[in-house]
Structure 1
Amino acid sequence: MIGDRDRRQIVRTLLALRQARCDEFPHELFDEFAWNILLHLFYAHALNEAVSVATISDRAGTSETAGRRWIEHLVMADQVESTLAMDDLRMTATAIDAMRKYVDRVKALGVEQLNDLA
């Protein structure tokens, strides 16, 4: 069983791979802002870091306005919770559990070996 520290490294590799993909191909082909937001929120969770809409939107590669819309969808889907001012975004326990399972499956596939590439 791995901990969130190890999962954080795998998520960092996944984010680096996504960025590399966007560096080489038109980003319009791969707009997955909700997924980017969830990956970045899990990384922040593993660091015990609070993030705002502005911060997470920037990290996810979208405008703050679009970020707010995506976050509203994620809140309605019970994946994200936030304060009224949206200055403290966090994944729900359900989303954290799902992301842990996902990252554990990624690790089982051997993707953590890609850390040398990222």
Structure 2
Amino acid sequence: MDHIDSQSGPATAPRRRRLAPQAYIDGILAGDRVMLARAITVIESELAADMDLAQEILEAVLPRTGNSRRVGITGVPGAGKSTLIDALGMHLVEERDEKTAVLSVDPSSPLSGGSILG
């Protein structure tokens, strides 16, 4: 008999168990990309059980963002958004030795109204 995780149905992949808040916080502050990805999943979750955890992670990490910048880029298809993001990112990494991250969102997703793109 196949084991079915209590957090998933038979047709879905088993969900990872949530960690203690400090594990996410320490991982994010250490630059652990896997832990950052897991924290983003928690923060975007609409499950009531994840909301307190998400709030605790955000309250601990946001005050430590230092001189980080967030830039929003929008435009019609074909306007050159990806080209601009690539050029800007390469400039920041190669010329200014800065770290960058890109979080792409498709607000036209019919299911969620805002799918994160990989």
TM-score by length of 1: 0.30
Structure with the larger helix share: 1
**Structure of greater Rg:** 2
